[in-house]
Chain A
């Protein structure tokens, strides 16, 4: 029997008292479709933003903040494109095929989607945690566009070690028999191609693609860059300092803000609205950066 699909693969919604128009659904080629949401202002569009989420449990932790940020910005005149990487969320694909490279491709596809809908060809980019590695690379496609990173993974090797340690604690908590050390998990990843980290399969493909990635690799220079630190992650300072130094050396105007409120990235966070200040500060920064960007383009 043949498939009958009677419904469109996107849906339009009007929210926030008519200030925000959203198109949610799937785009891309069959078998490789991305789930995404385009948040549009009801009136004139003053700029655009592509949000690159993190992956694994961090994607869920930050999900609502990214939705709220997108709606706030859209209500203020900035069109926003959000999406799920292939192999994650509602999108097509399997996690075994997800690499840093495919994530950047998907961010580029999301930017193309935004351009198609809004004619914004130089969007800003925002990346959360692992998504920061994606955003810096994708932002190079729109040279000079403002860039925001939320608690970025500046040192992937260290971030992987943290994941292994967190898993070891998790196994202790849930009483897993035959608990594993970080070294055992790494050996399992090498031998089996994947290892269970907090109920997610850390795949060898992603590990190998990201382990040596540097956050500054994709910086195009002369960008406005906002680095948001959440809480005080012990040991993360060195990687971030290297990143901001590289950004400044490349000619970026870097602003770093530290917020007290920090989520528990790898576990369910019971506290509602932990990101209220984060969203507010980011909104204000992006609106100012977008206005400056538009003024700069007008002047040139």
Chain B
């Protein structure tokens, strides 16, 4: 059984901040490192209900070295942040984690991230020469700030005609009879109308003067294309009931879909029941744990190599 006996704390410097992390060391290592990236909203590296502690210990039991860390301004790390934006991922924090693994003699790594963490993983991917696989859980496909309301985001894309057409689909119409969906649809339509009125009045940019978000993040599409070009196995996970999946599904009709289709079996999209974003239930946590472990084992089975090099705990 893997527990704290197999774990040790580390620290490294990234963009001037002192980043704190914990490495889980496998009893039978095979030389592959896994970096776990939490979502935004000041969630430390344990993630909800210790999901990443459990994931680290399970992956270590399967032979992977696993590093979970607190972003700067979060948990035990130093620094200060005022919020999160999916177009400003904390790439330096991830690069530091990967550099720590490299100093320890582990040059092949897998990145696993959820929500903001998945965007950070994707943004960092091009800097990781030894990237062997990447897992993107509930990844936002558009650029937005944490706390921005979903109806605002949906209304801002300007695609109300398409949205109304979608509402005429039988399954969507059925759902619209349910309270929560009905409220959401009405909220989106109201927000869309308010934005149009405000723009018509010349009251400035939508949503209180912030830059207008692009519908699908161009950065995301390019980063995904980069991963596909490098033939990096990628697992994409969503919950069927979450807004992020709605957006991903719509985005697949465009260049993102073309990129994913070009990759063939290298990019695996898995849709789980219910909501995955934020890991809101014990059942979905268990499903994600099983899926991620099984997929990583299949994508990057590892090879026989020695344990971590002593001395890597030092700072750069």
Chain A interface residues (CB < 8 Å from chain B): 1-11, 13, 15, 24-26, 30-31, 33, 35, 37, 57, 60, 63-64, 67, 88-92, 170, 172-176, 196, 198-201, 268-273
Contacts and interface: CB of A to CB of B under 8 A. Distances in A.
A64 B42 contact: yes
A195 B43 CA distance: 23
A199 B281 contact: yes
A176 B25 contact: no
Interface stretch (B44-52, B164-172, B197-205): B44-52
Nearest to B20: A24
Q: Is the interface of A mostly helix, strand, loop or mixed?
A: loop
Given A8-B8, A91-B4, A270 B147 contact: yes
Contacts of B179: 172
Interface in B151-192: 178-180
Interface stretch (B86-94, B230-238, B272-280, B294-302): B272-280
Q: Is the interface of B mostly helix, strand, loop or mixed?
A: loop
Interface string B1-38: 00111111111000000101011010110000000000
Contact of B48 (A7, A13, A199): A199
Given A175-B180, A199-B280, A6 B308 contact: yes
Contact of B43 (A9, A170, A175, A268): A268
A63 B43 CA distance: 9
Given A63-B44, A199-B49, A199-B281, A5 B274 contact: no
Contact of A5 (B6, B53, B279): B6
Interface string B93-113: 000000000000000000000
A31 B283 CA distance: 26
B285 A60 contact: no
A92 B3 contact: yes
B180 to A, nearest CB: 6
Contacts of B46: 60, 89-90
Contacts of A13: 11, 18, 20
B83 interface: yes
Interface-central residue, A6, A35, A273, by most chain B CB under 10 Å: A6
A64 B75 contact: yes
Given A11-B313, A90-B7, 15 more contacts: A4-B25, A7-B312, A9-B4, A33-B3, A60-B44, A60-B48, A63-B42, A63-B44, A196-B282, A200-B48, A268-B41, A268-B42, A268-B278, A270-B41, A272-B73
Contacts of B308: 6-7
Interface string B73-86: 11110100111000
Nearest to B5: A30
B126 interface: no
Interface in B244-287: 274-275, 278-285
Contacts of A67: 75-76
Contacts of B214: none
Contact of B81 (A4, A60, A272): A272
Contacts of A6: 307-310
B281 A31 contact: no
Contacts of A3: 5-6, 25, 27
A196 B310 contact: no
B241 interface: yes
Nearest to B273: A177
A201 B5 contact: no
Interface string B33-73: 00000000111101011100100000000000000000001
24 contacts: A4-B25, A4-B307, A5-B6, A5-B8, A7-B23, A7-B308, A11-B10, A25-B8, A25-B9, A26-B7, A35-B4, A60-B48, A89-B50, A90-B46, A92-B3, A172-B180, A174-B280, A196-B282, A199-B285, A200-B49, A269-B41, A269-B42, A270-B146, A272-B42
